[in-house]
Amino acid sequence: MNENLESEKIRIIKEAFEEKREIMGFAPQEMTIIDNQNPIEDVFITDSGELIVLEFQMADFDEVELAKYVELAEKLYEKNNVCISIYVLCPKTIDVTAPECTIKSDAEFTIKLACYQGNPVYDIFYKIKEKVDKNIKLNEDDLDVLETIPMMGPKEERTRLRIECFRLYMESQK
């Protein structure tokens, strides 16, 4: 498990969504598998057993996107019977057209949207770049994060991010 990435995402949750609950870390995988699919990524567990899902939204946020998050919350609630918080982080450049309304459901959940100046993946990228620039050897966690950065970035930036991550990897191995 990547502790640096986990810590960084917890920091993002606490800052962007003003989360006050104690976040213990990533939720156990058995809590994050729904519909016999692969586990849902970036699901965290609080000290009281509640789940927090961190999502990065790079496309416009409309009623279709909102409905997907509602369905996700309901499925996680049905599986785990704990309060579900879905935190959606997006750049300020997307259009948010989903209605702000109360959603009737048997599930206990909240969905919060926060717009971010830029993209938090760049913060993570620049922290690793700073280590490489200072000739600080990257550890296993840093290398794992470096592999995931392109997939966390906007689709139109993925090629550039891959190239930059490859360069950082090569520089870190010198």
pLDDT score, position 1: 46
Average pLDDT estimate for 63-81 = 94
Domain boundaries, the chain: 3-116, 120-172
Q: Assess whether pLDDT exceeds 50 at residue 5.
A: yes
CB of 149 within 8 A of CB of 165?
yes
CATH class held by domain 3-116: alpha beta
The set of residues, in sequence order, having a beta carbon less than 8 Å from that of 124 and lying 6+ positions away, is 5, 8, 145, 149, 152
SS3 labels along 142-174 = HHHHHHHHHHHCCHHHHHHHHHHHHHHHHHHCC
pTM as predicted: 0.71
CA distances from 111 to 44, 54, 66, 100, 135 (A): 15, 10, 9, 10, 41
Write out pLDDT tens, residues 124-167: 887 888 888 888 888 888 888 888 888 877 777 788 888 889 98
pLDDT confidence of residue 119: 66
Q: Is the pLDDT of residue 118 over 70?
A: no
pLDDT of residue 2: 58
